[in-house]
């Protein structure tokens, strides 16, 4: 995620005043949101250089899909995010295999704990915190797979909260 400490509110306000724009406070916050979104997009598009291969291909990290289809439980939402992973045109087998191994490991863990995905979320978080090696492409892929699983679990939580919220609002 983007680091909010990198955005200096005072500096932004000064720049706006120097440009002699008469903006209201909503415009300032929309500018902040656009800067924050650019930082998030840059981080999501982080690539790795394949140093093992002579061709120096770039590997793009898979992103969480926007549309996952129908779901009624948090596990189904998580499964939809995992099933819709796209590796794009990346053909670096070691990275993709590492990524898939992490997804498969924690998908089966989530399947076994489908009524309480907080257990799986805690295990993924623990492994991310313990993971120390990122030197080989397989290890980079595996680590990115762990991060992807954690994001998928959080996305499933957000999707279920939005679904519950819409159901409550429709009944009010």
Q: Over the stretch 41-100, which tens digit does the pLDDT of each residue have?
A: 444 445 555 444 444 556 777 888 777 777 888 898 898 888 888 877 656 788 888 999
Using the Cα atoms of residue 60, residue 142, residue 146 and residue 67 in order, give the sign of their dihedral. Answer: positive
Residue 160's Cβ-side half-sphere holds a number of Cα atoms within 13 Å equal to: 17
Same domain, 97 and 122: yes
The three-point CA angle 110-68-171 to 5° equals: 95
Same domain, 73 and 155: yes
Same domain, 39 and 53: no
Q: What gap in Å lies between CA 73 and CA 95, rounded to an integer?
A: 31
Model confidence pLDDT, tens digit, residues 101-153? 999 999 999 999 888 899 999 999 999 998 877 778 888 889 999 999 999 99
Residue of 59 and 7 predicted with greater confidence: 59
Same domain, 78 and 13: no
Contact 144, 99 (CB under 8 A): yes
Same domain, 71 and 154: yes
Tokens of 111: 């399947």
Residue 92 sits in which domain range?
Answer: 48-171
Contacts of 106 (CB under 8 A, 6+ apart): 120, 123, 124, 146, 149
Burial grade of 97 (CB within 10 A; 0-12, 13-18, 19 or more):
middle
Same domain, 37 and 81: no
Same domain, 77 and 138: yes
């Amino acid at each position: 995620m983007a680091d909010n400490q990198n955005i200096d509110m005072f500096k932004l306000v000064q720049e706006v005043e120097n440009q002699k724009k008469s903006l209201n406070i909503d415009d300032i916050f929309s500018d902040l949101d656009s800067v924050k979104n650019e930082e998030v997009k840059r981080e999501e598009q982080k690539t790795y250089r394949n140093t093992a291969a002579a061709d120096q291909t770039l590997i793009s990290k898979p992103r969480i899909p926007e549309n996952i289809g129908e779901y009624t439980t948090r596990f189904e939402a998580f499964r939809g995010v995992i099933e819709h992973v796209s590796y794009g045109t990346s053909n670096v087998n070691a990275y993709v295999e590492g990524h898939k191994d992490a997804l498969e490991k924690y998908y089966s863990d989530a399947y076994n704990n489908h009524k309480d995905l907080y257990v799986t979320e805690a295990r993924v978080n623990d492994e991310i915190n313990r993971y120390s090696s990122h030197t080989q492409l397989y290890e980079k892929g595996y680590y990115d797979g762990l991060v992807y699983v954690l994001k998928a679990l959080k996305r499933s939580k957000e999707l279920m909260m939005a679904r519950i919220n819409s159901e409550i609002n429709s009944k009010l």
